Structure 1
């Protein structure tokens, strides 16, 4: 079913209001949370929309309004909300217990499924979040190489570990020279020693990557790369760049970590296989948990041996009270089993169709916007040319306002488009939903042409 418009049209205020009940809940929340929420990533305009329940590709807010959900909890819910196989698996497990100090068969089953699918993923450890997965991948690289430093991509998001937050929020006033990106801090008080241990690379700059990795090769344990960094533009990797990173890393004994917490949804075998990257370690999360908290670090057996405690204290001890908890394991197994090659092929076709329709709408309108993304992911840029890397994707305040206006417009059409205009599709979505998204975008371009031209 195509969503009906979620907002009343009788006043400008009503059009933009997330709802009276949401507003009341936010007022209560401000009494118990520092800013009224528990995640900085929550969209608020001017306050968050509170959700009551989800149904497939749709969610219903506490004011009773129904929206097509293109956020899917930041790309996690690849099967949408309340996916029946996950519900059935979790209900069975709940009756048997939710967590134990002992291992369960469920963790072996999910680990086996993942190792069978992904090239070079021979051994795996489960943790609770994508942040933990990246953190332990970096620690594993340090333990294996004996080196302290890492290299990472400017603007790329990898969770809430100090070293990976370096240069995550760089801006024109501090990001440094094109061939020497600055190791900028992310939060007030970040130790200078953390920034000193991070080499910052620009995405798709092969020559600079070779040079910067070689300059500090003896210190660098790993280069951390998201094959298509979302916050850095959701831009496709150029083969020359991936080759430069991988060849230089191999030459100097630097491990390559592929952060596929988000982009594992791009292919049956993952994003690295899709783009020809052969990483030494993987960080996984989001879709592999079926909507429950999860993370995983994995790779070839010789590197993953740093976790091996069979003969005493390992090079890298790793635990976690809820790591490999059976609820996440059975939910993840149900979700991933349903994500067969046919499901990925269908999402690929839907995504390609939608991106083409958005591009065609831009062309017909002569609008200075562009589209990036792959598989079930897409992003709308308030720029006439698709960016190749973070600095080109960076939005000025005026450009960011275009995205905010677009998010508001989509909400009035009954569609949740994140304020950054980076979004995803899920398996419950079909051609009617693709039509609704494309139609909403065409209407936005038509009704806001003057604002777009004036701003861009």
Structure 2
């Protein structure tokens, strides 16, 4: 197939120009002896081998061969203050000298929980866990425990971690996602239980009519609607006000809880993404930035909902424990991070993000390039299509577009910046106008360098 051959050549062109990362290649050879595919996370990108990092400093990473990279990944958006943020380093060092974890509670967990309860609307009480996946999982379990219903509704293409019900239709494609007005529940992995698929109602983000029709029809079996206020994997697209209005009305009418997954999007503002867009959840799943770079997750919500975790009157409706939940190292790192994320810090990140998205959009217009930019706050995503996607299905791309997107990431890497292939890219507080200009200049250079191939993206099959 001509287009496939063209795409493969295009994707490989940059790779073959990359300098040999001898120490990274050596590390990867060792890793292949102990990991199934040489990596310990499915999200590790290879170009053609992973880049092994030695250290991070502020907005930059340094690999084993001494190459420096502007980090636009931030460990999947968790490092909002960049690397080796001194208040976090100092807090963790001090706590480590006093002990890393205990079976008993500590005062620092109260302090971090207080920060979250004071800032985030609809968060009256908090429970800590160790990952965003756990936070989503326990939020779903809490909704089931309170409502007595097992079914879950979620939006097509949205990523919510590694809990079976949250993974349904996470990687659906045009070949299996079903009709536009009734999306199919698509398994994420071979062997996913059929019962999970039957218990998960898949909806389309921002499709108000579909939400009204399908949620109304199945509300009697649905415990909660799981929603990322701006789904990262599904395009970084903002929710429409009328869509949220309908979601609120339907859920209140039928006794369905709303779970906001803000594991990633809490970084959108001082009070989080739900507050930014007017979403009023019953439960929130939080993570990433609230741990300051250490493992963390948290479930927060209205007091009457969070009582499912309470053991005041005996065994709780939902027992929740964890050996490392609320460990003091994550707590103090989170406190240091959140204390330094005041409203001025978020306003500055918003300003930088607005400037970057405007720069990229202007460059696209100047060169009449088939790209679009989405995002908000400190988040941005570059799409290899001229139209701004409306939902996950609208993001479907052809072979050449996929190759262009991957090569964009490779190009950035060759010129000293880590730009994720698929997920949201992000800014961090150590960045400034210099970094915004660097990103803009690299994107302009990329469009100039590969103009001949890029102009054919939307016509290739």
TM-score range, shorter chain: over 0.9
Matched residue SS, 2:34:
coil
Aligned twin of 1:270: 272
Equivalent residues of 1:400, 1:420 under 8 A apart: no
1:421 CA drift (Å): 6.5
- Cα deviation 1:63-94 (Å, max 9, x = unaligned): 10000000000000000000000001001100
1:395 CA drift (Å): 2.6
Matched residue SS, 2:154:
strand
Q: What does 1:397-412 correspond to in 2, within 5 Å?
A: 397-412=399-414
Aligned twin of 1:6: none
Equivalent residues of 1:18, 1:48 under 8 A apart: no
* 1:297 maps to 2:299: yes
Aligned twin of 2:342: 340
Equivalent residues of 2:233, 2:423 under 8 A apart: no
Aligned twin of 2:310: 308
Q: Cα RMSD over matched residues? A: 1.1
1:455 CA drift (Å): 2.2
Separation in 1, partners of 2:336, 2:424:
27
Separation in 2, partners of 1:455, 1:277:
36
Separation in 2, partners of 1:331, 1:232:
30
Matched residue SS, 1:141:
helix
Residue 124 of structure 1: which of 120, 123, 126 is its match? 126
1:241 CA drift (Å): 1.1
- When residues 12 and 184 of structure 1 are mapped into structure 2, their CA distance, relative to the original with a 3 A threshold, is closer
Q: What does 1:36-435 correspond to in 2, within 5 Å?
A: 36-420=38-422, 422-435=424-437
Equivalent residues of 1:18, 1:47 under 8 A apart: no
Aligned twin of 1:30: 32
Equivalent residues of 1:381, 1:421 under 8 A apart: no
1:399 CA drift (Å): 1.3
When normalised by structure 1's length, the TM-score is 0.96
Aligned twin of 1:448: 450
- Segments of structure 2 that go 5 or more residues without pairing to the other structure are 1-12
How many residue pairs match? The answer is: 446
Separation in 1, partners of 2:14, 2:116:
49
- Segments of structure 1 that go 5 or more residues without pairing to the other structure are 1-10
1:12 CA drift (Å): 6.7
Separation in 1, partners of 2:416, 2:111:
39
- When residues 13 and 151 of structure 1 are mapped into structure 2, their CA distance, relative to the original with a 3 A threshold, is closer
- When residues 12 and 238 of structure 1 are mapped into structure 2, their CA distance, relative to the original with a 3 A threshold, is closer
- Cα deviation 1:310-343 (Å, max 9, x = unaligned): 1210000000000000000000000000000000
Matched residue SS, 2:333:
helix
Aligned twin of 1:7: none
Matched residue SS, 1:336:
helix
Equivalent residues of 2:160, 2:261 under 8 A apart: yes
Separation in 2, partners of 1:307, 1:381:
41
Equivalent residues of 1:18, 1:45 under 8 A apart: no
- Cα deviation 1:409-442 (Å, max 9, x = unaligned): 1112111111126300000001111110000000
Moved more, 446-455 or 274-283: 446-455
Matched residue SS, 1:181:
coil
Equivalent residues of 2:139, 2:259 under 8 A apart: yes
When normalised by structure 2's length, the TM-score is 0.95
Matched residue SS, 2:380:
strand
